[in-house]
Structure 1
Amino acid sequence: MRVVVIGGSGHIGTYLVPRLVRAGHEVVNISRGSRAAYTDAPEWRQVRQVVADRERQDREGVFGDTVAALHPDAVVDLVCFTLESATALVGRLRGETGHLLHCGSIWRYGPSLALPISETTGTAPVGEYGVQKDRIARMLKEETAAGGLVTTSLHPGHIVGPGWHPIGPLGNLDPGVSATLSAGRPLRIPGLGAELMHHVHADDVAQAFERALDRRDAAAGQDFNVVAATALNVRGFAHQAAAWFGKSATLESVSWEEFRRHTPREPAQASWEHLHRSHFCSIEKAATLLGYAPEHQPQAAVLEAVRWLIDHDELKVAGPLIA
């Protein structure tokens, strides 16, 4: 097939585009042209690159024309964040493209009430990002159910891979957390540390998209959680991270009020956004319909990212990795 990937130079596309080339597809990548993929691969030399500013073209009402002009058999949209943008693309591709796959997020679900969260048991989303992702997923299902464009939405957890900072044990991107744990110093955690985070390696997300493309009939009109088979909670994650440096984690449980008082505003808010949701999602549907089988455990995926950051002098820690 000719597969057009929108935003293929990012986290997921870094792995998905080479997978598609190896599978024999003709691949076109649409991006702003501002960066290369996180990991180089020889398959990129077979990929046609198209430069387009989606935000600007969405405002002008022509982005769908840009995509349709490439005559794709399938489109993988990795960078759509509003219902308006998604609806415009669907309307333009209806009747011209065989399959549209959208990248959502497990933040389409609000704070957990029962675990694991399936595609039908999540609570209503909170925050504009999650609200938009949920609205897009519902629109896509309705589009296909009504006999329109064949669509699929896939909803990753916290994407991990070499080349970028992972969501850490406190649910934020604060590099000081790794420095603290690697030194064996006490780490303040809000609450008891039982809140969950559900990571997924970027290559496992790419696997899910590839399988959904291969199994179009099974994927048509469906939405899927795409996460690792297991999840980490705060205290378990912290103990794992300390052990990578031969240390034991010393955790001090504090109230959210005290945590915010001693933590800069941005990482404190990021911690709240991740931890109060406390997500642990089921992959049963993706495994059954798509044959999705994640190859990475969360702790191994995060360790891979941390090792890359240390090796590239992008993360300062107190001692060597022994893991």
Structure 2
Amino acid sequence: MRVVVVGGSGHIGTFLIPRLVRAGHEVISISRGQHSSYADDAAWQQVRQVTADRAAEDRDGTFGTRVAGLRPDVVVDLICFTLESATALVERLRDEVGHLLHCGSIWRAGPSWKLPITEDNATPPLGEYGIAKAAIARMLRDETRSGGLVTTSLHPGHIVGPGWHPIGPLGNFDAEVWRKLSAGEPIGIPGIGAEFMHHVHADDVAHAFEAAITHRETAAGEDFNIVAPSALNVRGYAQIGASWFGRTADLRTVTWDEFRRTGPDAAQVSWDHLVRNHYFGIDKARRLLDYAPRYQPEAAALESVRWLIDHDRLDVANSLKV
């Protein structure tokens, strides 16, 4: 099939596009052309590259026509963030494309009431981003179930992989936590540190998109949690991370007010992640897509940390022991 991937040079596309090429598909990648993929793969030599500014063309009302003009059988949209953008693309592709797949987010679910969170028991989302992702998923489901365009939405956890910083044990991107863990220095954690974060390796997300294309009939009109087989809480993640450097994490409980004084911007990111306390089930994706993630969350995070150290992008006080 001819598959158009919107946002193909990003985290997911880095792994998805080579998968699609190896599966025998003709692949077209649409991106702004500002950087290459995060990992090299010879399969990219067989990919047609199209440069486009999605945001600008959405404003002009021309993006859907650009995508339709490529005459795809399947469209994978990895960079849609508003209901208006999603709706415009659906209306333009209706009756012209066989399958539209949308990349959502686990933040379409609000703070957990019951664990694991399934596609059916999530609480209402918090914040503009999560609210938009939930609204898009509802619109896509209704579109397909009313007899319109065949759609599927996949909702990844915190994406981890080589080439970028992972969400760390404190629920933010502050790289200082890795230096402290590697040095055995004290780390203040807000609250009791039992809050969950649910990561997923970018290649496992790519696997899920490929599986949804393959299993179009069972994926049609459905939405799926796409995460690692297990989740890490703050204390567990910190202890596992410290062990990579031959250390034991020295964790000190602090109040949220104290934690915010150490860096209000990073603390807000931590709050946004930890207040949700997310741990998701993947039974539906296993059953309908044959989703089989290869990475446990700690293995995915270790791969990312190792890459950052090897490329001199992470300051640590001790070398990895694993």
TM over 0.5: yes
Structure-1 residue corresponding to 2:190:
190
> What does residue 153 of structure 1 align with?
153
Q: Could you list the per-position Cα deviations for residues 165-214 of structure 1 after superposition, in whole angstroms to 9, with x for gaps in the alignment? A: 00000000001100111100110000111000000000000000000000
In the TM superposition, 1:4-153 aligns within 5 A as 4-153=4-153
How far does residue 28 in structure 1 lie from its aligned partner after superposition? 0.2
> What is the total number of aligned residue pairs between the two structures?
322
Matched with 2:295 is 296
Give the superposition deviation at 1:160. Answer: 0.2
CA–CA distance in 2 between the matches of 1:214 and 1:311? 36
- 1:213-292 matches, within 5 Å, as 213-261=213-261, 263-292=262-291
Structure 1 segments unaligned to the other structure (5+ residues): none
The residue that corresponds to 2:175 in the other structure is 175
Moved over 6 A (4+): none
Q: What does residue 309 of structure 1 align with?
A: 308
Match of 1:292, as an amino acid? Y
Matched residues in 1 for 2:192 and 2:250: separation?
13
Unmatched 5+ residue regions in structure 2? none
Give SS of 1:153's match. strand
The residue identity in structure 2 corresponding to 1:83 is: L
Tell me how far apart the structure 1 counterparts of residues 260 and 225 of structure 2 sit (CA, whole Å). Answer: 31
* Paired residue type of 2:102: H
Please, what TM-score do these two structures have when normalized by structure 2? Answer: 1.00
Shift of 1:12: 0.2
CA positional deviation for 1:11: 0.2
Distance, in Å, in 1 between the alignment partners of 2:117 and 2:18 is 31
Tell me the CA shift for residue 40 of structure 1. Answer: 0.8
Structure 1 residue 265 displacement after superposition:
1.6
Cα distance in 2, alignment partners of residues 136 and 130 from structure 1: 10
**DSSP-derived class of the 1:12 partner:** helix
Q: What is the CA–CA distance in structure 1 between the aligned matches of 2:113 and 2:154, rounded to whole Å?
A: 22
Q: Which digits, 9 at most, give the CA deviation of each residue in 1:149-173, with x for residues without a partner?
A: 0000000000000000000000000
Indicate the residue corresponding to 1:3 in structure 2: 3
**TM-score of the pair, normalised by structure 1:** 0.99
Identity %: 67
Letter in 1 for 2:126: V
